[in-house]
Amino acid sequence: MRVLEGARLGPRSTLGVGGPARFLAEALTEADVHEAAALADERGLPLLVLGQGSNVVVADRGVEAVVISMGLRGLRVETTDAGVLVTAAAGEPWDPLVAHAVTSGWAGLECLSGIPGLVGATPIQNVGAYGQDVGAVVTAVRALDREPGRVVTLAPSECAFTYRDSAFKRRPGRWVVLGVTYQLSPGGPPAVRYAELSAHLMSQGLDRPTVHDVRQAVLQVRRTKSMVLAHDDPNARSCGSFFLNPRVAAAERERIADAAGDRSMPAWPEGDGRVKLSAAWLIERAGFRRGEHDGPVGLSTRHALAIVTHTGAQATDVVRFARRLQEGVVARFGVRLVPEPVFWGFDHLTDGLPSEPAA
């Protein structure tokens, strides 16, 4: 295993900001992961895992940790009476896996097309989009459990999936995901649960879409929002959606709609008496404009939920701008948006954001 000291993490993240890791361990095998964990224990340092860096903000001073650069590869397919079980190593790129499933005619992942990152991140975030979440198709997660120091296989109930959350996210540092098994449905119907996606398909005359149709539609919609990574896109340096869509009680939804003066405010019932609101809508109604910027950091010109960085940006700039958005929405609607990315190398978090950005 190759271990680098002081490797800068900014170039390894989609935001392009952040200082060095104390140690960066390039793990290509499970033995490498165990070796990296041993190094962290030996040095008394946290153990962190970096995929494609699409959901992380690293402090400008860097992070005192052993950071695993996840490189485990491998794919196994098993046909069962219940469907197809696809087991992928944590370092497998996510979108090519989705493309493979769609090409094979397996339903279950098609709405998750175009999302950057690696397989290992999907159960941690319970990655989801357009009405589909991986938690609905994950059947097992193989992981190094650092508490007993052994490899375990976790069932979905042990993963405790909720909206963009999981046991892995709630207990950072305990598990290192090594592989994930998904149960997909050969010839199954695609998921078309999201109004925007349905409208796009209908505009193409696709009233009975295939999984291929849905994947292409999702990619097209995401591209209009600069939510598919493209190096020639001026909005490319982002980590996608910076805030989670807030979930509120039905009565709160009415209060917020009244405050906005717009009874057509988008909201989606969650089935538990709560409704999910659009964070992007709240940000724009709080007075922030797409393309608005503060120095080298601002909002995407195509989507109000993406914070983008430009030449000269630092992590402190990202945090300050995110705090502006968060406080603006609180002042306007009394709703506090929760950040989606994780923050490395910062001392304290307040309301989900670093309270004193680390230089």
Q: Label residues 5-19 b or e (16+ Cβ within 10 Å = b).
A: eebebbebbbbbbbb
The letter for the amino acid at 97 is: L
Please say if 164 is a catalytic residue. yes
Cβ pair 93, 86 in contact under 8 A? no
**DSSP assigned state of 245:** P
Cβ pair 27, 36 in contact under 8 A? yes
Phi, psi at 339, each rounded to 5°: -65, 150
Name the nearest CA neighbour of 233 among 170, 328, 303.
Answer: 303
Which is the catalytic residue, given 164, 237, 253, 285?
Answer: 164
Please say if 193 is a catalytic residue. no
At 50, list the tokens.
């970096």
> The dihedral of CA 189, 193, 197, 201: what is its sign?
positive
Which is the catalytic residue, given 69, 226, 241, 300?
Answer: 241
* DSSP element (H, E) containing 250: helix 250-260
Q: Name, in order, each residue with C-beta under 8 angstroms of 97's C-beta and a sequence gap of 6 or more.
A: 75, 86, 88, 109, 119
- Distance between CA atoms of 187 and 185, rounded to whole angstroms? 6
Question: What angle, 0 to 180 degrees and rounded to 10, lies between the N-to-C axes of helices 211-224 and 94-103?
Answer: 150
Please say if 324 is a catalytic residue. no
Chain centre to alpha carbon of residue 50: 13
Task: Let me know how long the chain is.
Answer: 359
Q: Name, in order, each residue with C-beta under 8 angstroms of 79's C-beta and a sequence gap of 6 or more.
A: 85, 186
Q: How far is CA 150 from CA 37, 120, 153, in A?
A: 11, 17, 10
Catalytic site positions: 164, 241, 340
